[in-house]
Amino acid sequence: MMRLGISKEIDWKYVGALLANESDKEQASFLKGFVKECNGWGTRLQVEYQLAVVNHLLTKDEKETLSMLSYKEEDK
């Protein structure tokens, strides 16, 4: 892999484990960067398609754990 100057394979499970142990601010910063990059791909449909494919690869428990990322508070 030679993407963005990275010449080694990235152990994404390890990166995820590191991120899980960071503060909420660091985790939010990561997610904001992820979303910003995805939104630069061109169309919302491309982003939705990619996230749908990722969703398909997650277990039911993993999806449940991540469900709070899309939780919206009701307007008052």
Q: In this predicted structure, what is the pLDDT of residue 51?
A: 96
Q: In this predicted structure, what is the pLDDT of residue 67?
A: 93
What is the share, in percent, of the chain residues with pLDDT greater than 70?
89
What mean pLDDT is reported for the chain?
Answer: 91
16 and 33 in a single domain? The answer is yes
The answer as to whether 3 is a domain residue is no
Q: pLDDT tens digit string along 28-40?
A: 999 999 999 999 9
Whole-number Å distance between alpha carbons of 14 and 55 = 20
Residues spanned by the domain of 16: 11-40
Number of domains forming the structure of the chain? 2
- The pTM of the full predicted model, rounded to 2 decimals, is 0.79
Per-residue CA distances from 72 to 17, 32, 67, 68, 75 (Å): 26, 16, 10, 8, 9
The answer as to whether 53 is a domain residue is yes
The answer as to whether 22 is a domain residue is yes
pLDDT at residue 19 tops 90: yes
